[in-house]
Structure formats: C-alpha cells, structure tokens
Amino acid sequence: MIKCPFKQGEFVTYSPSRRGHGLDDADLLEIGKTYRIDRIEKDNYVVVDGYCHPGGGIYWTEFKKLDVGTIQ
C-alpha cells in the first residue's frame, strides 16, 4: 500500500473512482471541486475541511493533486 502523497493544508480535487463515489453515500463532496486537506488519517485517508466521513476519511486515490491556478 502506497502512503498518501498529500500533506495537510494542500488543495486537492475530488476525482473519485466509480467504487469510491459509491462509498460516499451522502454525496457530500462534489466531483471536480477543489478542497483543502484538514488532515490525513492513518497515512492513507484524506479528511477535507468541512467534511465528516463516518470512516474517518476518504482514501487518498480518490483525489488528484491540484493543478496550479485552478482553485474553484
């Protein structure tokens, strides 16, 4: 398992796989939207500002590193 390459405070874009999107039951995150990382749980799970996932976060592969100049 590869450790999350992101760091707290970085901005990422939510870009889930079909399976990952299915795990987000409440659809509280918007696909393609940029979020700031509040914290990383267990070296693999991203928790973004304003989002409380019941499992503690969303696996880091469901996000993409933000391209410079694309904050939404």
With respect to residue 6, please indicate whether it lies within any of the assigned structural domains.
no
Residue at token pair 């996000």? 63
State the Cα–Cα distance between residues 64 and 36, nearest whole angstrom.
12
Give the pair of three-digit tokens for residue 71: 């904050």
With respect to residue 3, please indicate whether it lies within any of the assigned structural domains.
no
Give the pair of three-digit tokens for residue 67: 């391209």
With respect to residue 47, please indicate whether it lies within any of the assigned structural domains.
yes
What is the reported pTM? 0.79
Measured in whole angstroms, how far is the alpha carbon of residue 26 from the centre of its chain?
A: 15
DSSP 1: -
The residues near 9 (Cβ < 8 Å, ≥ 6 apart) are 36, 37
Q: Structural domain tally of the chain?
A: 1
With respect to residue 48, please indicate whether it lies within any of the assigned structural domains.
yes
Domain that residue 27 falls in: 11-65
With respect to residue 43, please indicate whether it lies within any of the assigned structural domains.
yes
With respect to residue 59, please indicate whether it lies within any of the assigned structural domains.
yes
pLDDT (tens digit per residue) in 4-52: 999 999 999 999 887 655 555 556 788 899 999 999 999 999 999 988 7
